[in-house]
Amino acid sequence: MTEERTIKLDRLRYTKNTASSRLVYLAILLDVFFFVSIYKSDVGSYYYNILIGASILYNLIFMLAAFLASEGVKNYKKGYTWLLMALGAIQVARIFIIPVQAHAATITIKKVSYQVMENSQFIRVTLYLALSALCLFAAAVINLQKSNALASHIASLEGQKA
Amino acid sequence: MAELSLQHIDKIYDNNVQAVFDFNMDVKDGELIVLVGPSGCGKSTTLRMVAGLEDISGGKLFLDGRDITQTPAKDRDMAMVFQNYALYGHMTIYENMAFSLTLRKENPNVIHKKVLAAAEILGLTSQLNKKPAQLSGGQRQRVAMGRSIVRNPKVFLFDEPLSNLDAKLRGATRREILLLHKRLGATMLYVTHDQTEALTLADRIVCMSMGHVQQIGTPLELYDSPANLFVAGFIGLPPMNFYDVKVENGSLHGKGFTVELTDEEKDTLSGYNGKEITLGVRPEDIAEGGSLPVKVFSNENLGMNTLVHGHMGDNNRISAKLRGWTNYKNGDIVNVTFKRKHFFNKETTNAIRKEAR
């Protein structure tokens, strides 16, 4: 291992994993953009069903869990990698729940048919969720790599001491 | 490292108050200079002018022969350690120490090496992941020093760095600064109002009062040969005893007491016969067993010595540091002698020396 690489690894002992935690903050921000944009296109009472409550509740849980994970990955806690992966997967799944369904749905009011979600809005909210998921996956992968590298570096240091 | 030269430095504030008058000094490479004096004497102002935190109203400042009088603080290549540590509470010790280099956008690997090296010197390696609030005052001051070390500056500036520490910690940190100075061989300017710090740390001391330099010299020079009454009174603990006396026929006549002079002292004072001068005697230069009776009013046992306070002659206050453990009571009479005397011109307050005649 080169000296550069060793120093880079050793730096992990004293510096935070800000790359991962910042990516998670970005994911939360994109989720907020998604959430404030999704119900803009309400036509009639399309969104007034059980999903609206569930989505609000999930959004709160998402933000809480993501923030918790951001603090965890900042300190190279490996366990939070899996939480970030799960949150990322759910963000992808969310694309197929409200946006895809609303984009496909039409409502007829006074014999005039309206598309619930226009193409432009659909693309925007889908992009928010997809990017949010991407940030979460990237944060998870970076954290996994760094926490593994740090663990093996600490193990080798302890081996040298012994 | 660096040579610093202060030439005719003045500091005049906007309200026309002059804080520093004609400060002249050449600091040699690797020298530790201590600026000492009471509050408001201009020592911190001088240090801040050197650092570039205060404008220089008059005179010139040179670093390695380069005029830096108008150079901004950030470009002077000097690091300052403050009394209140000035650490960032939300950052770890590692981040605090690395901060200045991070701002300069240095290579993170280089920063890492420098921070670890400084932490090793200061014994902070095990504290690097902690926040300042988790450290003791002495450790925080070491972090502040570490932050300076990583920059590898030409000159280190210390502004009363030990004032916030308790007495025990102050002693320990003082020794660490001394070791650090020896290890780094750096040019250092150190401001304090504590004469013990000045005497123990300095290669040379600058004693200041009311904005004026009173004396520049080694600690021994200032202690043994004070230039004037101010230096004599300021350096030394307990302070020197002073008496107004008249020189007459080889003796000094004070209020209710007479002190005989040695031949050498007579020679020194030969031009002052019949004149009034100020006699100065350090408490540690007073010994038991002479012809001067002292009426004791206080007895402080210090372990190896006893500090005896009393009156001599017509109510002249005297403090004597006597050897050993004594138990004088209020009203006891002790006969003392002056082993060493200092003489000062009453008008100019300057020391009277043979060569000064």
Q: What is the pLDDT along chain A (162 residues), one digit of tens a residue?
A: 688 888 999 999 999 999 999 999 999 999 999 999 888 776 777 777 888 889 999 999 999 999 999 999 999 999 999 999 999 999 999 999 889 988 888 888 888 888 888 899 999 999 999 999 999 999 999 999 999 999 999 999 888 877
Q: Residue B57 carries which side chain, given as an amino acid letter? A: S
B328/B357 Cα distance (integer angstroms): 42
- Flag if B129 and A13 touch (Cβ within 8 Å): yes
Which of B19, B12, B59 has the alpha carbon at shortest distance from B43?
B19
Phi/psi of residue B174, nearest 5 degrees: -60, -45
User: A15, B128: Cβ pair inside 8 Å?
Assistant: no
CA distances from A47 to A5, A51, A81, A91 (A): 54, 7, 33, 19
Paired with A142 in beta bridges are: none
pLDDT at B1: 59
pLDDT tens, B75-88? 999 999 988 888 99
CATH class of B241-356: mainly beta
Determine contact, residues A4/B110, Cβ cutoff 8 Å. no
Assigned token pair, A72: 């965890």
Q: What was the ipTM of the complex prediction?
A: 0.75
Q: In terms of residues, how long is chain B?
A: 357
Taking Cα atoms as reference points, which of B153, B199, B154, B150 lies closest to residue B174? B199
Which residue has 């004469």 as its token pair? B195
Give me the residue spans of the domains in chain A. Answer: 19-161
Give the tens place of pLDDT for each residue, B159-197. 998 888 888 888 888 888 898 899 888 999 999 999 989
**Strand partners of residue B246:** B253, B276
Does B115 lie at the interface with A, CB-CB under 8 angstroms? yes
CB of A15 less than 8 A from some CB of B:
yes
> How far apart are the C-alpha atoms of A142 and A74, rounded to whole Å?
11
What confidence category does residue B355 fall into, taking pLDDT thresholds of 50, 70 and 90? Answer: low
CATH class of residue range B4-234: alpha beta
Task: Name the strand (E) or helix (H) holding A150.
Answer: helix A119-161
Which residue shows structure tokens 């609030």? Answer: B133
Tokens 């010994």 sit at which residue? Answer: B287
Instruction: Give dist(CA B38, CA B50) in Å, integer.
Output: 19
Average pLDDT over residues B245-264: 93
Domain-by-domain residue ranges, chain B?
4-234, 241-356
Over residues B270-287, mean pLDDT: 94
Contacts of A4 in chain B (CB under 8 A): 109
Give one word for A61, left, alpha or beta, with left for phi > 0 and alpha for psi -120 to 50: alpha
Record: contact B129-A14, CB cut-off 8 A:
yes
The answer to whether residue B357 scores a pLDDT higher than 80 is no
pTM: 0.80
